[in-house]
Amino acid sequence: MRPHRALWRFTSGAALWLALSGAPGVAIADDGPPPAVSSKPALPETADRIGRIKRDANGRIVPAGPPLAAAPATPNGPLVPYGGGDVGTAVPQLSSFDPQALRAVQRRTDHEMQAQKLQAEVDRIVRGQRDARARGASVDSHGRTAAEEKLLGDLERIDKEVHEHEMQHYLMAQPYARSPEYFYVIGPDGRRFAVSGLTAFDATPIAGDNDATIRKLDALVRAALAPREPSEEDRRVAATLEQLIALLRQSGSSAARSPKPRPDGRR
């Protein structure tokens, strides 16, 4: 279930600088000392380290509160696959055996939404590079800028990771998994690249055999965690399966404790 880690952003931010200045006071009468002259205070270099400020009785700028927390850094790294970690999905708390519970943590619409967001980001980069070419940016033999080539390299890497990840789920879960479904974006060269995947598991019980059903679900737990780096969605699937197994074991123990009816119908 490779929803993969996080949505990427190619963003840049400019530092915000704050400059405060004051004009010296000027005496306009002879009947008293001139007012105090304001002087520039020593301020932090960037606005994200400045708290509330005020002027004191002498006109000096002094702190009026603690410094503000520094703003978090804006990510500006390589593209990474969606990992199902930013959609707010929680592991359901099950009180009875429900094989459909996996649908609550493997939502197709989440993958579709993330692929759409990713496509919008790819399109933004492509538009920016189109403008860069119009301004005379250098291009390679394919007519692509360095940024477009990097984007293609990232998309090719993600596509490979997603397919490998989903095939590990699929092969480990046989015969209780459907073929993986992939979610794509269109790259700057017109090709489709998988950026997320979903491998649906069959968690239905094996009729009349509690122990066999537990073994089946145990195998699906191992399949959910089979990739070297399970995604957050993978871990939610495994946790949901563990709950189903616990419910089956509990019901099996209860049945074992219940006295079996005698042939005459009495207990």
Residue 12, phi then psi, degrees to nearest 5:
-135, 145
Rounded to two decimals, the pTM is 0.65
Residue 122 lies in a domain: yes
| CA distances from residue 23 to 26, 28, 34, 39, 122 in whole angstroms, order as listed | 9, 15, 14, 8, 50
Residue 48 lies in a domain: no
Residue 80 has a pLDDT of: 72
49 pLDDT higher than 80:
no
**Using one digit for the tens of pLDDT, what is the confidence trace for 161-194?**
999 999 999 999 999 999 999 999 999 999 999 9
Q: What is the mean pLDDT of residues 112-118?
A: 94
**Higher-scoring residue by pLDDT: 23, 189:** 189
Both tokens of 72, joined, read 């978090």
218 pLDDT higher than 80:
yes
Residue 187 lies in a domain: yes
Question: Total domain count for the chain?
Answer: 1
Residue 68 lies in a domain: no
Host domain of residue 198: 100-253
Nearest residue to 215 via CA among 227, 224, 206:
206
Residue 240 lies in a domain: yes
**Using one digit for the tens of pLDDT, what is the confidence trace for 120-153?**
999 999 999 999 989 988 888 888 899 999 999 9
Residue 207 lies in a domain: yes
What residues form DSSP beta bridges with 61? 55
Residue 141 lies in a domain: yes
